[in-house]
Structure 1
Amino acid sequence: MSAKDEKKRRLNQLSNESGLITALAFDQRGALKKMIARHQIQPVALEQMTNLKTLVAEELTGDVSAILLDPEYGLPAAKARSAASGLLLAYEKTGYDNIRERLPVCLSDWSVRRLKEAGASAVKFLLYYDVDGNNQINQQKQAYIERIGAECSAEELPFFLEILSYDEKFSDKTSPQFAKLKPHKVNKAIAVFSDQRFNVDVLKVEVPVNMDFVEGFASEEIVYSRKEAAQAFQNQELAASVPYIYLSAGVAVGRFQETLFFAYESGAKFSGVLCGRASWGEVVPIYVKEGQESARRWLQEQGRQNISSLNAVLQQTAVPWSDKYR
C-alpha cells in the first residue's frame, strides 16, 4: 500500500459513511483550565481535566466520526471513546498564542511516531498566522509546517493543519476593525498552506467572516452585506485546493449551524467540522458545581442533541473530503 493510500485509509477511519468528517474537538488545555477556574476557588486539578475529557468521550463519541484530543490530558479519554470513533491527537504545545510572534512549538516529549503509537489516525497542529505580518517570522512558520508535514508523510499519517488568523495591530478579534480584515487574513492563509510543499491533508479553518457583523445576522454594527459575506465564502472555496473543515470557535450551537447553512448557500464545499465548545462547553459549570453525574446527564441529553442537530446540518451542507483530496 502506498503512503497516499495509507493516508486515505486513515482518513476513512475519521469519517462517517458519507465521507464527511463529523468530529468532536476536545484538545483544549489552557483554555479548559480557564473555563474550569471561572467556577471554583481552588486551583484546577489535573484529574478534573482528565476526568471531564473522559466523560465527554464516553458520552458523545458514539455520535461523531472522530474525536480530537491532546496527549497531555486526553489519553484516558482516547481509550474511553466509542470503538467507531477515530482519533486525532494534537501536536502543538498549548499557550504559545500569548507570545508576540506566536512562533509554533511542538510538544517537546512527543513526535508523530509517538502519537501514532498512542493510537492516532491523524495528527493536528495549530498555527497562528498573520499573512500581513513580518516576513521573516512567516518564513519560520512555513518552514516549521514543512517539517511537520514531512514527519507525517514519513509515518503515513494524515496531517490536519488548524490555522488561526490574527493581526499584530488589532488584539481584539471580536472588533469590527478586525472583522473588516478577516476575509483577507483567513483566505490568504488558506491559499498559502494549500501548497503541496506542506503536505497538509485537511485544513481546519475559521469561517472567513465574523457572522456577528453580517447583514441579517448582526446584533450591532454591519460590516458586510450578505453579498459581501457570500463572496468571502466563495473566495475561501477558491483558495482551498485541499479538503477543509470548519472549527466552531466557541460560538453558540445555533449560530454555528446558521453559519454552515450560509456557507453552503454561498458555495463553500467544506467537508465537515471539528466542533468543540459549541457541543460540550455548557457542561463545564455543571461538572464543577454539581458533579460528574449531573454532567453525565447533561451530556446524554443536551450534549447528544447538540451533536445530532449538527450532524443533520452537515448531511445537508458538507461534501466528502475525497472530492478534493489529491
Structure 2
Amino acid sequence: MATKPTAGKLAGLQAVSDARGVIAAAAMDQRGSLQKSIAAARGGTASDKDLETFKVLVTEVLTRYASAILMDPEYGLPATKVRNDAGLLLAYEKTGYDANTAGRLPDLLDHWSVRRLKEAGADCIKILLYYSPLEQTAINDVKHAWVERIGDECLAHDIPFFLETVGYDVDGAGEKTLEYAKKKPVIVSGSMAEFGKTRYNVDVLKVEVPVEMSFVEGTAAYKGEKAYTRAEALEYFRDAEGMSDKPFIYLSAGVSNPVFIETLELAAESGTKFNGVLCGRATWKDGIDIYAKQGETPFRAWLETKGVENIQNVNKALEAATPWYTKFGATSYDELR
C-alpha cells in the first residue's frame, strides 16, 4: 500500500480530480509537435501566437468536461486563466529531448522551478521522461538521478509529482514495429516498477498502456500483425498494475479517439484499477487541420461539437476507473486528511 501523502500533496491531488476521486484530465502541454502539426496542415508556418490561441480555445471549451488541464508555462499561461475552475498541472520539462546525444536525455525549462510553477498556480507538477528499462545502465542512471532531484524538489514544496514515462526502441527501429510491440509490455511494466520506488517521491505515474492496440488480435484497432492475443493483452494490463502500488493514470499517446476508448475498455475488461487519464490529442488532434486552414471561429465550433463528443466519450469510459485514494487504503478523500 502506498504511503499516505502529505497535506499539500493531498490538496493538489484533490484539485485535479473529479468528485469520485478519478483524474479526468485534459492534456494541452504539447509545444514543438503541435507547432509542427499546425504548420504542416497550413502548408506554411505556425507562430508562438498560434500555440497560445490554440491552447486558449481548447482550454475554454474542454475544461468544462475535465477535472483538470495539463499545460506548459511557455505558451499556455494565458489558457490557464480560462480553465473553468478545473485543476492545473504544469509541465516542467523542455519539449522533446536532446537528439544530439544517445538515450533521449531530458532537460528542464531554463526559467522555471517547482517554486515558480507553484506560484504560477500549479496544483501539481508534471514531467515527461523517455524511458526504457532496456536502455544502457549508464544512460538510465542519469535519468534516475534527474527524477530523484525533481521528486525532492516537489517534496520540499509539498506539491504532487506526476511522472509521465514514454517508452522507445533503444535499437532505433521505431515504435510502430511488431518487434517493438512485443517489447512494450516489459518496457511499461519495468518503468512502473522503477519509478514506483519510494526514492523518487513520485505521487502519480502517468503511463502508456502496456500493449500496442494495433497488434492486439481481436480488437477493432487490429491491423493484421499479431503481437498478442486478447487474453495475453489483458494479462499484460494486470502485470503492469502489479509493478507499483502508486496511483497511475493512462496517457492517450496520440491515438485516435475511438482507439483510446477501446484501449480504456480493454483496461476495464482486465480488471485493472487505473485511476484516470491525462488525455490530449485523442480529444483535439482532429481539429488541428480546421484551426490551421480556417481559423479560430470554425475551430471553436468544431471543439463545441466534435471535441466535446470526444471528451465525453473518454469520460464515459472512465466510469471503469478507480479513485486514486483507494491506493492508500482509503474509501474517501476525507479519510486521508
Normalised by the length of structure 2, the TM-score is 0.93
Contact kept, 8 Å, 1:92 with 1:126, in 2: the verdict is yes
Task: List per-residue Cα deviations over 1:261-298 (Å, max 9, x = no partner).
Answer: 11111121100000000001111110111110100001
CA distance in 1, matches of 2:173, 2:121: 37
The residue type equivalent to 2:144 in the other structure is: Q
CA distance in 1, matches of 2:153, 2:43: 42
- Equivalent in 2, 9, 12 of residue 10 of structure 1: 12
- Write out aligned runs for 1:226-265 (5 A): 226-265=230-269
1:320: which partner in 2? 323
CA distance in 2, matches of 1:88, 1:280: 18
Count of equivalent residues: 323
CA distance in 2, matches of 1:95, 1:203: 19
Task: List per-residue Cα deviations over 1:183-230 (Å, max 9, x = no partner).
Answer: 001111110000010000000000000010111022121110111111
The Cα RMSD (Å) is 1.3
CA distance in 2, matches of 1:60, 1:140: 37
2:225: which partner in 1? 221
**SS of equivalent to 1:149:** helix
CA distance in 1, matches of 2:271, 2:195: 21
Contact kept, 8 Å, 2:38 with 2:45, in 1: the verdict is no
CA distance in 2, matches of 1:172, 1:141: 21
2:128: which partner in 1? 126
- Equivalent in 186, 189, 194 of residue 188 of structure 2: 186
The residue type equivalent to 1:264 in the other structure is: A
Ranges of 4+ aligned residues in structure 1 off by more than 4 Å:
none
1:288: which partner in 2? 292
Deviation at 1:312, TM superposition (A): 1.3
The residue type equivalent to 2:241 in the other structure is: E
Contact kept, 8 Å, 1:97 with 1:128, in 2: the verdict is no
Contact kept, 8 Å, 2:103 with 2:135, in 1: the verdict is no
2:92: which partner in 1? 91
CA distance in 2, matches of 1:152, 1:284: 34
CA distance in 1, matches of 2:234, 2:266: 8
CA distance in 2, matches of 1:325, 1:257: 27
2:335: which partner in 1? none
1:149: which partner in 2? 151
**SS of equivalent to 2:35:** helix
CA distance in 2, matches of 1:310, 1:190: 23
**SS of equivalent to 1:185:** helix
The residue type equivalent to 2:164 in the other structure is: E
CA distance in 2, matches of 1:297, 1:32: 20
- Equivalent in 39, 48, 51 of residue 49 of structure 1: 51
